[in-house]
Amino acid sequence: MFKKIVLSVVVILIVGLAVAYFVRNMLVKKAVEAGSTYALGVETDLGSAAVEIRGGSLGLNNFEVRNPEGFTSKDFLSLRRGTIDVETGSILEKEVKVDSFIIEGVTLNLEQIDKKGNYQVLLDNIKRLDMSSSKESQKFRIGLIALRDINVTGSLSLLGKKVEKSFKLDNFTLHDVGSDNGAKISEVTATVVKTLITKALASGGGLLPEGFGKNLSDLKEQGVEQIKTEATDKLKDLGKSLTGEKK
C-alpha cells in the first residue's frame, strides 16, 4: 500500500513538472510573438520555445516575421535558432539579465515593387512604436546580441519586370541592449530588425538589383534616359552606315 502511495506521488510530481514546463514554454512563445508583432506591425510566429529547467537558458526555434500586405514572399524575415543565456535567475522574472543572445540562420527578404519597399513599411512601423501603450511588463538587459549566417535576397519589380539577387551579410554584434532601463521584447525585436535592415541596405551596394531603393520617378526617368541614349546611338550607327563611315 505504501509503495503504491509513493508511486502515485512520484507520478503526480512528474506530470506536474511536465505540465509546468509546457506552460512555461507556451508563455515564453506567446510573449515573444506578442511583443514582436507589436513592434513590427505584422504577424510573427515562433515555432517553439524551450526554457531550461533551472531557467538558465532559453532556446527559440524557427521565428518568422510575415511580409507586409502587397508583397510576394511569405516571410520578410526568418530566424532558424536563437539561444539566450541568462546571467542569474529565471527567464520569466520581471527583469532578466542576459549574458548573450546568439541568433543563427537569418534569412532576410528585401522587396521593392515600383516605389514601395517592404523594408520601409517595417521601418515606418518601428518608428511609430509607442512603448507607453505596450502591455509588456518584463524587461531585459542584454550584454551581447550576435547574428550569424545571414542570407539576404533583394528583389526589384518595376513596370512588370522583376530582378532578384542574393548575398551573404557579414556577421555582426550589438552590445548593451537595454543597459539603461531595460528593454521589452518589442524594443529588442525592433532594435535587431532595424539594425539588420540598415546593415543589409548599406552592404548591398553592387549586390542588390540596380535601382533598388530609388524612387519610382527616378527609375522611370533613368529608364527614359536609357531609351533616349540607345535610340540616339542607333541613329548615329545608322547614319554612319549610310555614309560608309566606320563606327
Measured CA distances, 111 to 6, 47, 171 (Å): 61, 24, 22
189-215 pLDDT, tens digit each: 999 999 999 999 888 878 888 778 765
- CA–CA dist 46, 58 (Å, integer): 13
∠ CA 186-27-137, nearest 5°, is 45
The answer to which of 78-82, 178-182, 185-189 has the lowest mean pLDDT is: 178-182
Read off the pLDDT of each residue in 220-227 and give the average, rounded to a whole number: 41
42-100 pLDDT, tens digit each: 999 999 998 876 667 889 999 999 999 999 889 999 999 999 998 766 666 788 899 99
- Residue ranges covered by each domain of the chain: 2-213, 215-247
Instruction: Return the pLDDT at 247.
Output: 46
Residue 203: what are its φ and ψ, rounded to 5°? -85, -10
Instruction: Return the pLDDT at 12.
Output: 52
Q: Which candidate, 99, 101, 106, 97, places its Cα nearest to that of 84?
A: 101
Residues of the chain with pLDDT > 70: what percent? 74
This prediction has a pTM of 0.78
Measured CA distances, 26 to 44, 67, 113, 117, 197 (Å): 15, 24, 37, 34, 29
